[in-house]
Amino acid sequence: MLTNKNSLRRKGAMPYIVVVAAFIVLSILSNGVLGRAHMALLVPTCCYIVAALALNLCVGVLGELSLGHAGFMSVGAFVGVITSESLSASIPNTGVRLFVAIIIGALFAALAGFLIGIPVLRLRGDYLAIVTLAFGEIIKDLITCLIVGVDENGLHIVFNATGTMGVEDLHMTEGGKTIIQGAQGAVGTQTISTFLAGFIMIIVVLFIIQNFINSRTGRAVMAIRDDRIAAEASGLNITKYKMIAFVLSAGIAGAAGVLYGLNYSSIVASKFNFNTSILILVFVVLGGLGNILGTIIATTILYVLPEMLRAFSDYRMLVYAIVLIVVMIATNNKKVRQFIGGLLVRKKKKNAEGGDAYWLISRIK
């Protein structure tokens, strides 16, 4: 009993230890050892880790496949940019402004998650997946039609559905500043995201998700994932718990989006398209569904590696695709898994008892 509890605690603490250690190492390395190209990867990696954790909450914990999580990132990113740009005069401190932008961006993304959740969570399985995909594309298109500017009278927003309007339709005063220019996206954004902010965000999100999973609500959500009918028969309000998890997931993805949006001086809505949603899903699945540490590690490796391999630009995505297929077959095919398991056992036998080998096989299975 005692050991069991200890191992549980250890499991919960591992992600924190890894993230803190990585942060310390990278902070030391960033004083001269890492080049500019590597430094530029730090914040986006943090964003993708947070987004992957959010999607892991939706796919791994809630058990619903979402193909539109980039849409929530998109909402977060653009709301964050608008917030940050319009508050640049009133809050000069970039740290505080980033914090405010993240909160507001996350709230808007959560609101989007709620509105989308109403129709989406009534559906099941692949139908749910296609509808989240549809919403992701709709969000992208809607943001592409937005033209937003700010002057001393406040925000000016026009919706450019016909493609004929421009910045002048905002009717801003002389000192007005355009924030989002339709298809060109947000331009001239002050980049205020920092690696420290990314690190803090990962820690906070880890804390939120781990507490959520171990809470009463989280257990209810997992019960619904494992057996919807039994959970319903036990008196759980299915829609409510699904909605809580979905909205939380959307909000966290939105926060990741804010950090991402404020890391670049210009960003377009098509950055957050279907392919980005898929990219995050790949991180989550390869990291292991519901496995928080796995998600963090998989995201880091899978995001940083292709960027590092830019020298082999022609072949890197081809190799990435092949690795993806091979890994999926190796981890999901019974025969291949037994074969790999056999190799591991043979190695292990040299220096361990049979019991350990059995444990290893059971772990692999």
Partner 1 sequence: MEFLSYLISGLSLGSVYALIALGYTMVYGIAKMLNFAHGDVIMIGGYVSFIAMNSAGLPAGVAILLAVLVCTVLGVLIEGLAYKPLREATSLAVLITAIGVSYFLQNAAQLIWGANPVSYTPVITGTVSLAGGKLNISIVSIVTIIACIVIMICLQLFISKGKIGKAMRACSEDKGAAQLMGINVNRTISITFAIGSALAAIAGVLLCSAYPTLMPTTGSMPGIKAFTAAVFGGIGSVPGAFIGGLLLGIIESLTKAYISTQLANSIVFAVLIIVLLFRPVGILGKKISEKV
Q: Residues interacting with partner 1, by CB under 8 A? A: 59, 65, 119, 122-124, 126-127, 129-131, 133-135, 137-138, 141-142, 144-145, 160-163, 229, 274, 278, 281-282, 285-286, 289, 314-315, 317-318, 320-322, 324-325, 328-329, 331-336
CB of 236 to partner 1, least distance (A): 15
Of residues 79 and 146, the one with the C-beta less far from partner 1: 146
Of residues 152 and 169, the one with the C-beta less far from partner 1: 169
Rounded alpha-carbon distances, angstroms, from residue 267 to 60, 155, 280: 30, 19, 18
Of residues 200 and 278, the one with the C-beta less far from partner 1: 278
Of residues 3 and 162, the one with the C-beta less far from partner 1: 162
**Whole-angstrom distance, CA of residue 218 vs CA of residue 266:** 38
Query: Is the distance from CB of 337 to CB of 364 less than 8 angstroms?
Result: yes
**Whole-angstrom distance, CA of residue 308 vs CA of residue 285:** 22
How many helices and strands, by DSSP H and E, does the chain display?
A: 14, 3
**Whole-angstrom distance, CA of residue 131 vs CA of residue 204:** 30
Of residues 131 and 222, the one with the C-beta less far from partner 1: 131
CB of 168 to partner 1, least distance (A): 19
Element (H, E) at 177: strand 177-181
**Whole-angstrom distance, CA of residue 303 vs CA of residue 41:** 9
List the one residue out of 100, 87, 103, 132 whose CA is nearest residue 252.
103
CB of 282 to partner 1, least distance (A): 6
Q: What is the CA radius of gyration of the chain?
A: 22
Of residues 129 and 258, the one with the C-beta less far from partner 1: 129
Of residues 65 and 203, the one with the C-beta less far from partner 1: 65
List the one residue out of 242, 251, 234, 235 whose CA is nearest residue 217.
242
CB of 266 to partner 1, least distance (A): 20
Which residue is it, tokens 């072949």? 315
Q: How many CB atoms lie within 10 A of CB 274?
A: 15
CB of 16 to partner 1, least distance (A): 27
Which residue is it, tokens 């914990």? 61
CB of 278 to partner 1, least distance (A): 6
CB of 113 to partner 1, least distance (A): 15
